[in-house]
Structure 1
Amino acid sequence: MKKQFTLGAALLMTTTAASASGIDRNLTNYGLLFETGNYAELSYANVSPSVSGTYSDGIIGLGSASDTGNMSQDFNTLSGSVKYDLTDKLALGLFSNQPFGANAEYPGGLYTGLAAEWDSRGTTIVLKYKVTPSISVYGGARSIVSQATIAIPDQLLRTGYGIRAGQLAAAAGAEGVDTTTAAALLGQAAQLNAVASSPAGALNYTATTESDRQTSYIVGAAYERPEIALRVALTYESGYTHTFDTIENLPAFANINRSSVTEIEMPDVYTLDFQSGVAKDTLVFGSIRHATWSDWHVIPIAYLEATGGEVTGIETDTTTYRIGVGRKFTDALSGFARVTYEPGNGDVASRLAPTDGSTAFGFGGSYTNGPIKVTGGIEYITFGEATDAFGTEFAENDAVAVGVSVGYRF
């Protein structure tokens, strides 16, 4: 059963991770802490999403196309990790990855020019202590540096002001609205209409942040029975708050060309990982991951003053489920298949993340030659349908992810 346990550790790698949850991009593989002996690994993945939407009938006439075009850009991730045994009971883990990211840009119709980018790099150090042959505890800290940019085109903000003005005018004429309230509503509508009539280009909004580094902590515990390849591990990654120095610009408002500070909360994450042998050379593995993405809202101060709303945000926490099976074919060759499911929530979609849940099917394998282990995999992800505040419908969207990792035991 010892060889089967080694196989199980390999099968839990996330070399092709592609997540619809928030802006998750490359998850930290704490399973590496349970590799036998000293071990180093380098992983690379490429993800090619296809996410587009169809404008509602009332919006098509405001743009030049009925379709948004693919708004989600391809991206790559590169990560590295090392596990080193300090003593028989104490092990050190070092991890470097790109935990969060976004690359969105609309090429067609009303949303043309709407774009956002989020880049990050994380470094994590963890110590694992074997309390008993079956129980381990681990903990450490991670340092994450991030930077973001966003552009909202003139025609999108202009349309938003016009729609809001129409809603206020309709509310002013509703039955039962008193004269004073109606006058106030009509006054607000007139102000919005005036902004919507600004010269062309005056409503192009941009925001660029400086890089910001923050630190959070990780704690976890695991129970193992190596004779049946059983391991259950619970990991908590604490949330933190980025404090970005931001330059905002919106020509229609003379006072919006200034520096501000934008605070963005990142989620707490709870992950339950498990694996168990179920037959000779056969392993079942999986995870349940819950992230408090409802904490994540992007609200630059000047943008809030000008529009009364946020640039983007997530209203609901997300829980992601994964289950898979692995099979050892020879001492050198093993394979796995897995299914990942994230339920939708039915919220109004953000235009910068216009999907609602996902289902992914992945398979791959590992080849071991002496101290070297090579693992590769491919994953196909289908995204749930979503509708944004303008009635644009995003459906039949998907992504393909491929990844490879090279491990070395020393």
Structure 2
Amino acid sequence: MKNTLKLTAALMLTTTAATAGGIERGGNNYSVLFEEGNYVALSFSSVRPDVSGDYPATLGGGSTDNMSEDYTNLGVALKYELNEQFDVGLFLNQPYGANADYTAGAYTGLGADWDSNQVALVLKYQATPNISVYGGVRSVESEANIAIPDALVRGGLAAAAAAGNAQAGALAAGAPAGTLGYTAETDANRETSYIVGAAYERPEIALRVALTYETGYTHTFAGTESVPAVPTVSGTSDFEIEMPQSVTLDFQSGVAADTLVFGSIRWAEWSVWEVRPNGYEALTGGGRVTGIDDDVTTLRLGVGRKINDDLSVFARVTYEDGNGGEASRLSPTDGSTAFGFGGSYTYNNVKFTGGLEYVKLGDATDASGVEFADNSAIAVGLTVGYQF
């Protein structure tokens, strides 16, 4: 079964990036550390989400239209064998992202973008023929921008007034139309976190179990906020956004001749993540722009089959449980189920891995009663690996 391991080891994580929790879009494929010899892989994925909701009568009815924009990810992974016991891995990718833009109905003008770039360096030590440990650092640079239209800010102030905040009511009543729109932009900020992992292998049966821990970190953004009607809110100040720690268990094992079962269980502490710029918090009396209330656990299970020495195929299912509660307007889905399939073809020292994934996104309702249902995403991915 050793050849099965060689042909299908990269199928677990390299083909698509449509089903990660929170605002995750991809990460470091640590299975590259277990490739034979020296290895470099270039990966590309394209995701087309279709996320829309229906406004209640109190917001005028009708559809939000698709509020989630298409996106692509590029990645590079390099594994270099220093000697028989030590290997080093270098990873470049875009781990986090968001692109929300409402163009219809009451939420028109609401939008947000989050962009990131990651560099990670990992050292792997083969302690015994079956046990290895690895660790390293990752450096992530992120930046974001947010736009909230006048009508939504004004509605939020009116709700605060109804709850007894007289100052919010006076502001909502006194500001001319169109002057309560809120925008915020951040400068890019780079922070560092750490990676620790261990793996157990039995190549004769294509078995590998690997446990990886990535520490969380905190971005400190310099943000420029603006609300035309409230000069005291407009200006530049620093605010923090905490990013999640995570634990991932990856596994694979041969179960029959030329057949491999693989999967992963990943927990990420997304409950710590919220966007709460200083000016917006002051304007709304403690409100946040967006956030995630619960941690996210992602389960994946698949099977790979070797067709011949050059070709293998796979299918997999990925699941995230919904948590219920009010959805964020900037991420209005709750859980997901994804079905993917693809294959890997080897030509001399070059390995091509491709896949297609369909994602059924969970239904959700936001605080204003907008119902987001029957939404989905389509993702395609391609990785080209070269062994040298």
What's the TM-score, normalizing by structure 1? 0.93
Q: Which amino acid aligns with 1:354?
A: P
Counterparts in 2 of 1:191 and 1:378: CA distance versus 1, 3 Å: closer
The aligned residue for residue 399 of structure 1 is 377
Distance 1:104 1:45 in 2: 19
The aligned residue for residue 97 of structure 1 is 93
Distance 1:337 1:140 in 2: 31
The aligned residue for residue 383 of structure 1 is 361
The answer to whether the 8 Å contact 1:162/1:193 transfers is no
Q: Does 1:235 align with 2:212?
A: yes
Distance 1:196 1:135 in 2: 67
Q: Which amino acid aligns with 2:306?
A: K
Distance 2:34 2:79 in 1: 9
Residue 197 of structure 1: CA displacement?
4.3
The aligned residue for residue 133 of structure 1 is 129
The answer to whether the 8 Å contact 1:195/1:252 transfers is no
Task: Say which of 111, 116, 124 aligns to 1:120.
Answer: 116
State the identity as a percent: 60
The aligned residue for residue 338 of structure 1 is 316
Deviation track 1:121-142 (CA, whole Å, cap 9, x = no partner) reads 0000000000000100000000
Deviation track 1:143-179 (CA, whole Å, cap 9, x = no partner) reads 000010000000111122223333x2xxxxxxxxxxx
Say what the alpha-carbon RMSD is for the aligned residues. Answer: 1.1
The aligned residue for residue 72 of structure 2 is 76
1:164 aligns to what SS in structure 2?
Answer: helix
The answer to whether the 8 Å contact 2:184/2:224 transfers is yes
1:160 aligns to what SS in structure 2?
Answer: helix
The aligned residue for residue 182 of structure 1 is none
Residue 409 of structure 1: CA displacement?
0.4
Q: Which amino acid aligns with 2:219?
A: H
The answer to whether the 8 Å contact 1:21/1:318 transfers is yes
1:302 aligns to what SS in structure 2?
Answer: helix
Q: Which amino acid aligns with 1:225?
A: R
Distance 1:196 1:235 in 2: 53
Q: Which amino acid aligns with 2:132?
A: S
Q: Does 1:106 align with 2:105?
A: no
Residue 192 of structure 1: CA displacement?
1.4
Distance 1:396 1:22 in 2: 19
The answer to whether the 8 Å contact 1:159/1:196 transfers is no
Q: Which runs of 4+ in 1 moved over 6 A?
A: none
Residue 191 of structure 1: CA displacement?
4.2
The aligned residue for residue 268 of structure 1 is 245
The aligned residue for residue 196 of structure 2 is 219
Task: Say which of 154, 160, 181 aligns to 2:156.
Answer: 160
Distance 2:374 2:166 in 1: 37
Q: Which runs of 5+ in 2 are unaligned?
A: none
- Which aligned pairs between 1:186-265 and structure 2 lie closer than 5 A? 188-189=165-166, 191-265=168-242
Counterparts in 2 of 1:328 and 1:305: CA distance versus 1, 3 Å: same
1:110 aligns to what SS in structure 2?
Answer: helix
The answer to whether the 8 Å contact 1:20/1:355 transfers is no
Q: Does 1:144 align with 2:122?
A: no
Q: Does 1:326 align with 2:304?
A: yes
Residue 352 of structure 1: CA displacement?
0.6
Counterparts in 2 of 1:27 and 1:329: CA distance versus 1, 3 Å: same
Distance 1:335 1:374 in 2: 12
Deviation track 1:69-116 (CA, whole Å, cap 9, x = no partner) reads 110000000000100100001000000000000010001111000010
The aligned residue for residue 27 of structure 2 is 27
The answer to whether the 8 Å contact 2:88/2:121 transfers is yes
Structure showing greater Rg: 1
The aligned residue for residue 171 of structure 1 is none
Counterparts in 2 of 1:196 and 1:124: CA distance versus 1, 3 Å: farther
Residue 27 of structure 1: CA displacement?
2.0
Q: Which amino acid aligns with 2:59?
A: I
2:142 aligns to what SS in structure 1?
Answer: strand
The answer to whether the 8 Å contact 2:14/2:43 transfers is no
Q: Which amino acid aligns with 1:280?
A: A
Q: Which amino acid aligns with 1:346?
A: G
Q: Does 1:287 align with 2:283?
A: no
Q: Does 1:349 align with 2:327?
A: yes
Q: Does 1:39 align with 2:17?
A: no
The answer to whether the 8 Å contact 1:8/1:275 transfers is no
Counterparts in 2 of 1:22 and 1:81: CA distance versus 1, 3 Å: same
The aligned residue for residue 409 of structure 1 is 387
Q: Which amino acid aligns with 1:57?
A: A
The answer to whether the 8 Å contact 2:25/2:96 transfers is yes
The answer to whether the 8 Å contact 1:239/1:265 transfers is yes
Residue 4 of structure 1: CA displacement?
1.3
Task: Say which of 341, 344, 347 aligns to 1:366.
Answer: 344
The aligned residue for residue 58 of structure 1 is 58
What's the TM-score, normalizing by structure 2? 0.98
The answer to whether the 8 Å contact 2:19/2:318 transfers is no
1:359 aligns to what SS in structure 2?
Answer: strand
Distance 1:197 1:377 in 2: 55
The aligned residue for residue 296 of structure 1 is 273
Q: Which runs of 5+ in 1 are unaligned?
A: 169-184
Residue 190 of structure 1: CA displacement?
6.5
Residue 366 of structure 1: CA displacement?
0.7
